[in-house]
Amino acid sequence: MVAAPAAGRKCCDLPASPAKLSPDIQGKGRIMARTFRRVVTGHNEAGRSIIWQDGPSPQTIEPLPGLFLHEYWETTAPADNTGDTDTAIRENSIEPHDPNGTIFRVVDFPPDEMWKDADVGAAFDEMGSGGAHDGASDTPGMHETQTTDFAIVLEGEIWAVMEEGETMLRAGDVLVQRGTNHAWSNRSDKNAAVAFVLVGAKPR
């Protein structure tokens, strides 16, 4: 049971609702982080349903300049709806920690120009999944996880890049990523926000 409703945690004093891209910081072209509202339900001590959390993600990381991963919820298998642990506060990993579990996040992708000179391998290390990165690929950011991923484009446009072939996705499009080696490329001049649910899968 959840003891009582609680306000959502706020990260870095960011705004509590989705916002448009902030202006460049001192003309350097860097885009400030945005937040996306997360609402989590629960139960009070009497067993009545409540709104338990309402606010931005309690954990956000920036492994590449302007690229933000907003962690929303992680589950084991089966999922556990008891207790009052906020499972979004977790050790960094692209995949769920339980091989059969799930992780739900929103990734805010900046234009590729913002991070093209960054160390992508180090970024995957920071995300806790250095082994997923395909450093031998000519395509920056290629990686593979042992998961089935449901990707829903919330805003903007982004390219899903495979070893052979690619396609552009726009807001409202969805992609089912079945453990394939892939990368994401934002070739526009605006951010793209994509929601992901990663589900642990059998290795190929």
pTM for this entry: 0.84
Q: Is the pLDDT of residue 3 over 90?
A: no
Token pair in block for residue 35: 């937040």
Q: Which runs of E-coded beta strand occur in the chain?
A: 38-43, 49-55, 59-64, 67-75, 102-109, 147-155, 157-162, 166-170, 174-178, 182-185, 192-200
The SS3 assignment for 44 reads coil
pLDDT score for 204: 83
Pairing state between β 157-162 and 182-185: antiparallel
Q: How far apart, in whole angstroms, are the C-alpha atoms of residue 59 and residue 11?
A: 7
The SS3 assignment for 83 reads coil
Token pair in block for residue 84: 């009052």
Question: What letter would DSSP give residue 113?
Answer: G
**What confidence tens digit (pLDDT) does each residue in 25-59 have?**
334 455 578 889 999 999 999 999 999 999 999 99
Rounded to a whole number of angstroms, the CA Rg of the chain reads 17
**Residues in contact with 13: Cβ distance below 8 Å, sequence separation at least 6, in sequence order:** none
Q: Is the pLDDT of residue 70 over 80?
A: yes
**Residues in contact with 142: Cβ distance below 8 Å, sequence separation at least 6, in sequence order:** 133, 134, 161, 163, 181, 182, 183
Domain at 59-200, CATH class? mainly beta
Token pair in block for residue 61: 């990381």
Pairing state between β 49-55 and 166-170: unpaired
Domain residue spans of the chain: 59-200
